[in-house]
Structure 1
Amino acid sequence: MLVLESPTKYLALFNKACIAVQRSLKRTTTAGVATPGYCAVKEEAQVRVSHLPNHPSLLRTRIPGSEDAGRLLSISGTVIRTGLVKMMETHRVYSCTKCRGTFCVDAEIEQYNYIPKPTRCLAPGTEHCNSTSFVAAGAEAAEEMQRCVDYQEIKIQEQVGRLALGTIPRAIVVVLERDLVDHAKSGDPITVTGTVMRRWRPVVIGERPDISVIVRANSVHVHSDQAMQVAITDELRAEFCSFWVDHARRPMHARDIIVASMCPQVYGLFYVKLAVMLVLISGVAHCDASGLRVRGEAHMLLVGDPGTAKSQFLKYAAKLVPRSVLTTGIGSTSAGLTVTAVRDGPEWQLEAGALVLADRGLCCIDEFGSIREAEKSTILEAMEQQSISVAKAGIVCKLNARCTVLAAMNPKGKYDVQSSLAINTALSTPLLSRFDLVLVLLDSHDEQWDSRVASFLLADPSTGASDKGDVAGENVEYPKEAVPDTATNSNDIWSFDKLQAYIAYVKSAFQPQSTPASEQVLTRYYQMQRQRDTLNAARTTIRLLESLIRLAQAHARLMFRDKVVLQDAIIAVVLMETTMLSASILGSTDALHTTFPEDSDLFYAELQDLVLQRLEMAHLADGDV
């Protein structure tokens, strides 16, 4: 308790005790002979404190206030700004001109490391020396007594996922010293254990003093694994295994139960829910022969008319993934999506944007078409190379942006099925080619479909929607457990927490490897797309094959296995056909007006026969799927 209430005093004593123990060990004798070279003494040893007791007063997710000044706390947040590494003078050595004694004055952390000039002689053994004349110590004394350490300031922000709706996240400056410098980068989720302090500039007559709250870090822990933010217990693992064992004879039915748990308050949209689920799970990242990283994260773009539940999928997906950022194109600039240089006093600092903050997570961008053309080019590198190169204000560096992009937009005017996707969306070919899936949702005003949607929503007591936007599922507030889609004929829909844990578990537990049958199907389909007369330059590139591989790997993870079989390749081909961009095998498919099949396994068997027949690979149906 003494350390928690007075950390400045007792942590300094711990550091001195650590140095004293080292010196004691150095004087260790072996067989009565002193061995001074047995070990070396680290004079700048620091005692680090971490993993404080799990108590709300010690572990904080909210930024502390002035009432916490002088206490030792652990604060969790996301790094949004990193400053330059500087050298801080911890104390300065002075020499008295009268008694020739030397003494040192410590820097004031509360006053931006300001070292005040002493008012009287503080040299030891000179209590009666009242001299007020001092000079800086010579080079020899400076080498012995003066110390300079590395120093850096970062800014952390409260994690948006842990805040209540409508709450604006706050930020606080964290001071890093010595070996903690450069320990965290922009976008990293960290837990800082340190002392809360007040800091102010030197007082100026006639001006109001500016006092702020900072944290002087004692230890920094970077959370690099997303799955650690989701509680996956042994009971959940056993429950997942038993679920697939019970449905071993009907695997596709079991898969549809999981898919139906995705955004259950939206009626139908079977292919869209399956596609969003695969994008959230994504494939396996790997390095090629040259050592370059090939991304495993899949990207998806939803293009559709207003009221087709695009924003609803984005909001639900952002809640499923622990580390996610939800933004809109109309409210974001290129700096807001990537990174910007901010001037803080006399120096420049880098401030992370949405793609950097969503590293190893999900970035949802609504109203994607509202981003200006000049700003869309800035995210090309982030979507493919999974990094952002910065050269601003004399700062040249590279930041990680290993995130999945889930974007939604309205078409430019009325969607023309006769025109290409680039014309309907006003997006460039390089940008479209980076999306693994582009689903087009067209509202065809089907009277029968509208009646079924209305009946579904009116039967759901959790929705009191009456206007057109709510009926379409665009603005419905979803609970954690909603009424399932009646088309699935299933009463055992998964809860929100269980679905979240399942996605995090399969992403970390399975690294699917391809099989010869799956490779033949994906290769044959890619060759057919390249040989078509009506070639779509925005989609039929080598990235099409990479997208198929990622989707097949994601489906294998969804099916709870570590091998990509023929079944996964067939589903990847079917989803690519639903994009309405390459309808050469199954014909044009309306992704909006689709419901869950009554017999999922029979439905898949028919799809498999059709796909293999069109690919002229019917002999694979007799093999091991």
Structure 2
Amino acid sequence: MDWDRGAVSSLAGGGQPGAPGAGGASTSTSSYDLTRRCVSFLRGFREENTFVYRAQLTSHIRRSHLVLEVELRDLTSFDAELGDMFLSKPAQMLPLLETAAAQVAKQQQQSHPIQVVLKSAAMESMRLRDVHASQVNRLVKVPGIVISSSKVRAKCMSITVQCKNCGHVKHLACPSAFQGVAVPRNCDRRAQNDAEGNMGVLQQDCPKDSYVIMPDKCTYVDQQTLKLQESPEVVPTGEMPRHLLLSCDRYLVDKASPGTRVSVLGISSVFNAKKQVGAVAIRTPYLRVVGIEINEEGAGRAKVVFTPREEEIFADMARDPNLYEKLSASIAPSIYGDYTVNIKKAIACLLIGGSRKRLPDGMILRGDINVLLLGDPSTAKSQFLKFTEKVAPVGVYTSGKGSSAAGLTASVIKDAKGEFFLEGGAMVLADGGVVCIDEFDKMRESDRVAIHEAMEQQTISIAKAGITTILNSRASVLAAANPVFGRYDDMRSASDNIDLMSTILSRFDLIFIVRDIQDETRDRNMAAHVVRVHTNQLNQTLQDAHGEIEPALMKRFITYCRQRIAPRLSMEATQTLQDFYVQVRDTVRQDEKARAIPITVRQLEALVRISESLAKMHLKIEVSPENVEEAIRLFKVSTMNASQDGGTQGLFGAFHEKAAVVEDAILKMVHVGVRMDTTALYTKLESQGHNPNAIQRAIRGMVQKGSLKQMNQYKYIMRAM
């Protein structure tokens, strides 16, 4: 890799002294004067009779933490010209400030090299896609998500070379970041003797390429390369997220793992990534990091500052007793239907979330709520997912069929130099938000198993290519899936309709069975609503709706609730939950039939999380019994209803026995390897007095189990075993 030495060297020099435009008013200012002014700032700046940076230096040196954090606002208030120079020529000024810090430390009887880390709360952030050539060599602040990180490597800052012929030693400075250094081909001893007048000391010239590097005498620092990606919520629709390389050194390494949201303060720079024919002047941008801030509040969400006016608005909203109904009605208001009421309330609880808890023994209980929408096509499941992604503080949308285990969790990739990088997937990038997974049933079973840990423990363990680590995936999951044969069959039991393992089903707090019921009144109302949508009459309808909350306001309110409130259960609420759980478990124990969805302790924890989200919605610090009652009601109309065996007509008992009798008859009638006409088989079974629905149920069940195979578009049936 050929690094562009000329382009990077301009960062440190800023032009020739005295050249036009090479520094403006500060052209005549020497490095000594600038260093002296930096020393004056570090020694003289104070707040409320406290010398901030002198105290910080003393404290950090005592802890062997040789870092000095400097706020640019303090520098500008102390010396405005010096602050402006840091913004316009940071690569030249930063080494001078580090030299000044070392001098101040030496004056305090502490002789140590100090790394200066800059931060700027007042500096305006710039979108990653807005970093252009005009910002090269300047200080910029860019927010984003770290999606990959390299291993920490040793970077040479000073290279020592020695002539293998005469032993002449030479020290070469190697700038930071990606720049290398060229070793001289000719020995400098002859030129040195000529300059000193010792013409006869050296009788013959040293051969070319006589310098060799002395690795044990070189000076090294730690260096790490990160890849920064735009946050999903700021990427324009239809655009691909942009990436930018980051170079971190010394104490800035290992500050951020993949999936971490950061705000990076750095020097915009360029390097020559590779040689291309006709692309001599093309350079690749990167950011030399001089300060990095982890934007983490609680569960890794971007820390948002709220104005006093916004806090007043949110307090008024929380005092509204009808907030729950208004908030749920504002979830995808264009979606119509009586079946959507409880789904919208569940999504509102998912967006608010429960309280994350850290136990005294170090165990962590998740507070994020997972919801599964399982049902017929054309019931707006995907639209719910799209709207949720839009209003969630952090939202990532993906489709199950186009997602692999590595794409959802994390992957280890090899770069062009053969080094392995860790790159986070959708669950990692959505840390602190919501992952929306459509076509959940179309995923391969191995890919679904990969997110088990991410859904419950909210971590992703990686042990690949020598990289062993744990990434955070503290995100809620909103998934949509179809039943086994496309539509929900009321003639079947729930376990036959739901083709998902109990291990994944138990991780969902709420599971909704969404049916497209054929009813004249319902269909007429639905048709009228769809026609209004297509004739642009929906806007007036939404404006007339009571309590409509704008998506932008809803997103801010959701973020406020998640950051500020962490309610806990009251004694009355605790007793109500205990009684309900014992009652449900007793009912399951008395029921001899196996349920499609197991009722375990996870469901009890789900009730706790839903109750906490309802209390958090009203900015309460304690969960009331009313919140628990509503959580139990949601749980009954969703998960409990879905776990019931049999369809809406209650056909499980005797009907299942009839289907079992039909299966025995088919096994006697069709031998292994024999093909039979499907119509003839139906006719023969009906002539024996079997119920047509039971025949259909038995054949479908045997096909699902692999006992029968359907051939030639279901015209023939062949017994496989």
Normalising by the smaller structure, the TM-score range is 0.7 to 0.9
253-262 or 434-443, larger mean C-alpha shift: 253-262
Give CA deviations for 1:27-83 in whole Å, capped at 9, x if unaligned.
Answer: xxxxxxxxxxxx31222x22222227545xx62332634454322211211111111
3-state DSSP of counterpart to 1:49? strand
Note if contact 1:229-1:322 (Cα within 8 Å) is conserved in structure 2: no
Q: Which of 534, 552, 555 is equivalent to 2:611?
A: 552
Counterpart position of 1:359: 431
Note if contact 2:318-2:617 (Cα within 8 Å) is conserved in structure 1: no
Counterpart position of 1:234: 308
Counterpart position of 1:6: 89
Distance 1:98 1:73 in 2: 48
Letter in 2 for 1:450: D
Letter in 1 for 2:115: Q
Q: With the length of structure 1 as denominator, give the TM-score of the two structures.
A: 0.79
In structure 2, the gaps of 5 or more residues are 1-83, 197-204, 650-721
Q: Which of 364, 367, 371 is equivalent to 1:296?
A: 367
Counterpart position of 1:75: 142
Counterpart position of 2:500: 427
Closer, same or farther in 2 for the Cα pair 1:209/1:482, shift >3 Å?
A: farther
Distance 2:273 2:557 in 1: 51
Distance 1:515 1:50 in 2: 43
Q: Which of 49, 54, 57 is equivalent to 2:118?
A: 49
Counterpart position of 2:348: 277
Which has the greater radius of gyration? Answer: 2
Q: Which has the higher contact order (CA 8 A, sep 6+)?
A: 1
Distance 2:325 2:254 in 1: 46
Note if contact 1:80-1:157 (Cα within 8 Å) is conserved in structure 2: yes
3-state DSSP of counterpart to 1:79? strand
Closer, same or farther in 2 for the Cα pair 1:444/1:209, shift >3 Å?
A: same
Note if contact 2:155-2:223 (Cα within 8 Å) is conserved in structure 1: yes
Superposition map of 1:285-324 within 5 A: 285-288=356-359, 290-324=361-395
Counterpart position of 1:564: 623
Q: Which of 260, 265, 273 is equivalent to 2:334?
A: 265
Superposition map of 1:482-493 within 5 A: 483-484=541-542, 490=546, 492-493=547-548
Deviation at 1:559? 3.1
450-459 or 435-444, larger mean C-alpha shift: 450-459
Note if contact 1:5-1:70 (Cα within 8 Å) is conserved in structure 2: yes
343-352 or 115-124, larger mean C-alpha shift: 115-124
Note if contact 1:321-1:362 (Cα within 8 Å) is conserved in structure 2: yes
Counterpart position of 2:696: none
3-state DSSP of counterpart to 1:408? strand
Distance 2:213 2:103 in 1: 27
Q: With the length of structure 2 as denominator, give the TM-score of the two structures.
A: 0.69
Distance 1:201 1:510 in 2: 48
In structure 1, the gaps of 5 or more residues are 27-38, 466-480, 591-625
Alignment of 1:218 onto 2:290? yes
Distance 1:88 1:71 in 2: 23
Identify, as 1 or 2, the structure richer in helix. 2
Distance 1:52 1:513 in 2: 34
Letter in 2 for 1:80: I
Give CA deviations for 1:350-382 in whole Å, capped at 9, x if unaligned.
Answer: 110000111111111111111101111111011
Closer, same or farther in 2 for the Cα pair 1:363/1:127, shift >3 Å?
A: farther
Alignment of 1:528 onto 2:583? yes
Note if contact 2:145-2:261 (Cα within 8 Å) is conserved in structure 1: yes
Counterpart position of 2:598: 539
Aligned identity (percent) is 29
Note if contact 1:301-1:439 (Cα within 8 Å) is conserved in structure 2: yes
Alignment of 1:88 onto 2:147? no
Q: Give the total of aligned pairs.
A: 545
Note if contact 1:387-1:399 (Cα within 8 Å) is conserved in structure 2: yes
Distance 1:432 1:283 in 2: 19
Closer, same or farther in 2 for the Cα pair 1:60/1:365, shift >3 Å?
A: same
Give CA deviations for 1:219-259 in whole Å, capped at 9, x if unaligned.
Answer: 111111266554532212222333454x4xxx2x3321222
Letter in 2 for 1:116: A
Distance 1:354 1:127 in 2: 65
Deviation at 1:535? 5.0
3-state DSSP of counterpart to 1:517? helix
Distance 2:543 2:210 in 1: 82
Q: Which of 396, 408, 431 is equivalent to 2:480?
A: 408
Q: Which of 499, 506, 525 is equivalent to 2:554?
A: 499
Give CA deviations for 1:441-494 in whole Å, capped at 9, x if unaligned.
Answer: 1001222122223333444588489xxxxxxxxxxxxxxx884397xx62x422
Q: Which of 510, 515, 524 is equivalent to 2:565?
A: 510
Note if contact 2:162-2:169 (Cα within 8 Å) is conserved in structure 1: yes
Note if contact 1:300-1:435 (Cα within 8 Å) is conserved in structure 2: yes
Note if contact 2:187-2:211 (Cα within 8 Å) is conserved in structure 1: no
Letter in 1 for 2:307: T
533-542 or 170-179, larger mean C-alpha shift: 533-542
Distance 2:214 2:558 in 1: 64
Distance 1:584 1:195 in 2: 57
Letter in 1 for 2:238: G
How large is the Cα RMSD of the aligned pairs? 3.2
Counterpart position of 1:15: 98
Distance 1:244 1:157 in 2: 35
